[in-house]
Structure 1
Amino acid sequence: MRTSISRRLLASSALAAGLWLLFAVGRWLLSRVQGPAAQLARLVPEVVPAGLLWGESGIWLMLALLVGAVSIALVHASLAEVTARGAGMFVPAWFATVAAGAVVGLALDLAVAWDSLGDFGPRGLLVGEFGAAAAAGALWGLGVGWMPGLVARASAPVVTAEGRPASSGIRSRWLVPAASFSVIAVLLSGVAAHAARTAAIEAEVAARQEAEAETTFGALPDPEAPGVPVPEAANVSLTGLDPAWCTSDRAMVLKGEPDAATGHRGMPIRLMNFSDQPCVIEGYPDVAFGDQNQHLLDVTIEHGGSFMAQDPGPQRIEVPAGGYAVTVLGWDAASPHGALVTKTVYAAPTAGMSRGSWPIDLDIVEGSTVAVTAWTLDTAPASSG
């Protein structure tokens, strides 16, 4: 009977691995479909982070998926054996499916967040959607775990020589170490896949920027052009700043993605509180723009709303730990041809604080007017860069 149960467990774990791979590949295929059918991807648990599936990761992505499927099988088998009691394998196999999906998902989450961990330490886990794949993996296991459970279920109980039900225990000593090594392999292959994806995106961005340079987005850089560098901070005193203010040791400014409407442009900027305590912010951010010559671009900043966003007005807000505040820049589209254009955006939570910066091409040209809304709480922040 032990041989029968072991074969059932092997088949159950193989089924769990196949289902995980089916959901991972299926969601990716649905997301590639053009039209309304692409919305079906939202119904499939995201067992593999989108950060691995978006972009070209090549063979590393396929390796990460295969290693993930093998890890699902090994983790499932080891947990099912550890938790099994007697011949009742249905519930242990179901539970093992839930746990395997969560463990492998967490390893993939860590792989995607690896660069952020290196840059920001533990608070780097607050950037992006860390934990989403682990939660989706657990949800996947909860939804499909009954199928491996049915396969693993034994037809008759195993009994001892005294006629009492036997406890299955850990019968295969190699399973737990193998499962542990497989999870580490998932992490390493995920890091490699994410690095390959990042490299592919950077190469694509570089190629696009080179193509844009050939079409002369803005005037060509001129090392002899007059101008002044962008100051690191506005010339404003910060005397009397509230001790609870969102300073650089508590919060960081993150650039959003530009948006466009007919003749108008907009871009959110977010403030993320990465500390474990609330912090406060009030009023308007400090914003400046650098041109292609690394000089301060002559732009008029107006506090208020625009076509792209309404201004809530200056108000004192408390940003919870791990929470976000948001402001929106708005401007009118302009022709960049032959003009001094924005190549870098600078921003600080308030005037007088050190500015962060991001390289980006925007059609904010010399002489433009940019409207800036006041900080307000962002209850549903999008992925920020």
Structure 2
Amino acid sequence: MPESANVESPEIAKAEAALLKNDWKTAEPILDSWLATHPVDARALFDAGYLADAQGRNEDAMAFYTKAVSANPKSFEAQISLGLLLARMGKSADSRPVLVVATTLDPGDAGVAAKAKAWRALAQIDRVGVDGKADPAQASADLIEALKLTPETTEDTLFAASLAEAAGDSVSAEAAYRRLLKKDPDSEQASTGLAHVLIAQKKYPEAEDLVKEALKKHPEDPALTAQLAAVLVAQDKAEALPLLQEFHQKHPDDAALTRMLAQVNADAGDYEASDELYVKMLAADPKDADLLAGHGQNLIRLHRYAEAMKAFEQATSIDETNGEAWNGLAFASFEMHQPTITLHALSVRSKYLPETATIYFLWATAYDTLHDKKQASAYYHQFLDTANGKFPDQEWQAKQRLAVLEKGR
């Protein structure tokens, strides 16, 4: 709001005095009356926009600010207020050019801190991007402009770290999080952020130490607990399962932890406990392809192949790019003596997942079942070339089948 020392009329002075006291009932009729006879008074238009903005009347505020900018394009306060309002309303495409103009104007009594606010708002917009086209490099440049005007804040450091992560610059992200932790060792956001970077770099022991220390200060933090579980799982540590079970009892609605617990239960061989969790999650989100694939994998291990096929078919119809679902469908359909479906599933799977010795064997046995000797032989050979003694039973079978298939050649 403009300083009352710069007012040009007693009416506006009285309205602005009321605005300073949040006395909207006094200010509004004065401004309405004044604007009825002075419709292009930039100062009064801005004040009316400020009043509407403070009352949460976004559309009215936007209209008044827009008229104020039109009446005086060099009004920094009108430009930045309009830009910030549009950003809050989710109108990034409209907000950005307005804020860019604001950064070129003299902030006057508002000071450089207000101009820095415009740059920070631009950084937030560019981080997400207009129309979903994120531009982390421009967001970083915006933040640098803000830091030329005002000191770095905790929010700035976290923002810079997240931008570095988005750009794949783990070194800069780690440095930013460590800088903040040095300043504020109790920062949950810095701890979780640094742990995320360390986990992405597969520095699991270091991440484990960091998260355990942070959990001493924030024992109920779900993000830190999830990260500890993740690093324990990555290191195949037995503590992962009881940790997840305990946290799940306290927070049964935490979807991320529930998924992790379901997977760890499956890895531990407790397929029934795992599947109970998948079924509950699917009841809330029946079209989640990853959940359907996990459910299907458990059904295979429980030898419920027909149900597994149904789950995988649903998953692939929802997300055709889900390689794990196609993988599961291939195995389930073979167990159901439907090798044609198996070959189709394997063909699509190969678009999204690399071939393995086990998959070569499945290719071979599916073709063998269909009496396609040429293809069966080729895949049995590929299986033997990659198995390297890890699958003795299947290797013996492959050699026996090759002796039969290639007899007389």
TM-score, scaled relative to structure 2: 0.22
Q: Greater strand share, 1 or 2?
A: 1
Higher relative contact order (CA 8 A, sep 6+): 1
Q: Greater helix share, 1 or 2?
A: 2
Structure number with larger C-alpha Rg:
2
